[in-house]
Structure 1
Amino acid sequence: MNNIFKFLRKPLTTVVSASQQVPRRFFASPPKRFYKRTSVLCNDGKYEVTLDSRKLKTPNGTLFTVKSEPLAIAVATEFDAQKEHIERSKMHLSALCFTAIDNPNRHTKTDMVNYVLNYIATDTVLFQYDDEKELFDLQRNEWDPIIQWFNERYGTNLQKTMVMSPPNVSADDKMKVSKYLLSHSEDVLFGFIFAVDTLKSVLLAFAAIDQRISVEKAVALSRLEEEYQSKFWGRVEWAHDLSQQELQARLAAAVLFVHLNRSEHFVKEKLIV
């Protein structure tokens, strides 16, 4: 997972990705599976995960609790799916939950929203080039509908750029996206950012979370240029396939995390656009 909070402009604070917020020991050499079964408990309206008789805790030692029962079940399923060793680096839902619970660097909603706003100017789908007609036609046919949908959905006026200079993102556009994001809980914002980091695109992440496009389609669109170039330079089957599957797994986790948390922490004053 890449540095998802490396701001292009001066940030309010330094923020890092979900995987980087989890202590290094969480991604050390895989430990052996020490439990036989997992289960979910309800305690005072919150849900916990147990590994045999032990209650699951975060890397910082905080008791794992979430308000969404389906989310707790999903995390328990990730742990239950482990074989002889626990491959934590592939447990994306668990990592997202741990990050949201521990928030080790004490990131605020403003930090997270500012990241997304600054990321728009580097969004993959807003950079198109007409140097190569076949590639440009592909970008226009596949990416332009996403730009149009985003502008209609969020009332923005984002425009693609045909040069190396980043597209102009107006203060009004930022305000509208900011207002939408601020209507969510901090937990949900961690999921949004995980999706943005996975796809290198705010627009594609929002489209996947809004279920405008499928997870598979969003990943395919994020890899449009890479797949185009592979027609000329060849495709390393196992490497390309693994990369695609990993992106799909990460994005699917982010989308599920957002929806399961949003159903529990939805703000009634949420902006309708």
Structure 2
Amino acid sequence: MIQVPSRLLNGIRNTVYNIIIRKYVAPPKRFYRKTGVVSSNGKYEITLDQRKLKTPNGSPFYVESEPLAIAIATEWDAQKEVVDRSSMHLTALSSTVLDNPNHLQKADIVNYLVNYLNTDAVLFHSGGEAALKNLQIAEWDPIIDWFNKRFQVQLSATDGLEIPNFAPGTAMNISRYLSSYNEAALHGFMFAVDTIKSLILTCACVDRFISPEKAVLLARLEEEYQQGYWGRVEWAHDVQQLDSQARLSAAMLMVHFNSSNVFVKQKSL
């Protein structure tokens, strides 16, 4: 009996599930004609016709970055006959920052991201298939080398199940870097890491060392390799790949639009 890899099956199941949900759970019809952005006291709010957008908890929706506000308004304007909230990642991320349903503090997010290195996808090479391991070495190791130089750490991959050992100071260096971002940007980091299962690839995207499209392909390296043997269900795998790219791209915008270099302050007279 042919054994199909479990990760491949899970990916197909998740994609099929999302397609069924989108097809049979009717999203609300578009109830507005135009979108806009209004600003006051350094805060930017989104308007749908004359009504201001609110968070799921009913709080006023606002962001502190004008480019981010424009991007969110564009998300709403891009909706056609219905409003597909599952595709509006910037709106969802910004609402999460405001409502904070899990009551996360900045230190909680930083610790979560730093601890993710223990299970970072690119640090675990295949121990069974030589061809796959060689591919991982060729594609992942240059990213690990970049990460080590960028953050002055000494991470190395393993082909076993044990958690890689990190030199003293590794967590401190990465924590210091992450703590330089505000909470909104850190939510973007967290969304990216949860999408591609790698803090290393996420940091490479934030620094523009690789593109989101490249990061998604690297995160899916084993799956793409297995598809070379088992075949590719084009509609399912393509949808899954594009969805990951959309999520990661939104996370990168969330990080960059909430970084200090996009905030413009007028000089006092």
Q: TM-score range by the shorter chain?
A: 0.7 to 0.9
Structure 1 unaligned spans of 5+: 1-27, 267-273
2:234 paired residue among 216, 237, 255:
237
Query: Structure 2 length as normaliser, TM-score?
Result: 0.86
Q: Name the structure 1 match of 2:88.
A: 91
**C-alpha distance in 1 between matches for 2:231 and 2:138:** 23
Give the AA of the match of 1:163. Answer: G
The answer to whether residue 207 in structure 2 is matched with residue 210 in structure 1 is yes
Secondary structure at the counterpart of residue 207 of structure 1: helix
Deviates more, 1:147-156 or 1:41-50: 41-50
Structure 2 unaligned spans of 5+: 1-24, 264-269
Q: Name the structure 1 match of 2:117.
A: 120
Within a 5 Å distance, the mapping from 1:194-273 to structure 2 comes to: 194-263=191-260
Give the AA of the match of 2:105. Answer: T
Secondary structure at the counterpart of residue 213 of structure 1: coil
Compute the displacement of 1:171 (Å).
4.2
Secondary structure at the counterpart of residue 255 of structure 1: helix
Q: Name the structure 2 match of 1:79.
A: 76
The root-mean-square deviation of aligned C-alpha atoms, in Å, is 1.4
**C-alpha distance in 2 between matches for 1:194 and 1:168:** 25
Query: Structure 1 length as normaliser, TM-score?
Result: 0.85
Structure 1 moving runs of 4+ over 2 Å: 263-266
Deviations 1:239-269 (A, max 9, x none): 0000000000000000011000013688xxx
Q: Is the 8 A contact 2:127 2:160 kept in 1?
A: no
Q: Is the 8 A contact 2:256 2:262 kept in 1?
A: no
Secondary structure at the counterpart of residue 42 of structure 1: strand
Deviations 1:44-93 (A, max 9, x none): 22111100010011111111111111100100000011111111011001
Deviations 1:159-197 (A, max 9, x none): 111211121134410111111111111111100111111
Compute the displacement of 1:99 (Å).
0.6
The answer to whether residue 190 in structure 2 is matched with residue 193 in structure 1 is yes
Identity of aligned residues (%): 57
Q: Is the 8 A contact 1:68 1:264 kept in 2?
A: no
Give the AA of the match of 1:68. Answer: S
**C-alpha distance in 2 between matches for 1:95 and 1:163:** 37
Secondary structure at the counterpart of residue 35 of structure 1: coil
**C-alpha distance in 1 between matches for 2:81 and 2:55:** 21
Q: Is the 8 A contact 2:30 2:79 kept in 1?
A: yes
Compute the displacement of 1:33 (Å).
1.0
The answer to whether residue 159 in structure 2 is matched with residue 174 in structure 1 is no
- Largest Rg, 1 or 2: 2
Q: Is the 8 A contact 2:120 2:200 kept in 1?
A: yes
**C-alpha distance in 2 between matches for 1:137 and 1:181:** 31
**C-alpha distance in 1 between matches for 2:262 and 2:118:** 29
**C-alpha distance in 2 between matches for 1:265 and 1:112:** 22
The answer to whether residue 49 in structure 2 is matched with residue 59 in structure 1 is no
**C-alpha distance in 2 between matches for 1:178 and 1:147:** 17
**C-alpha distance in 2 between matches for 1:237 and 1:86:** 26
**C-alpha distance in 2 between matches for 1:159 and 1:49:** 45
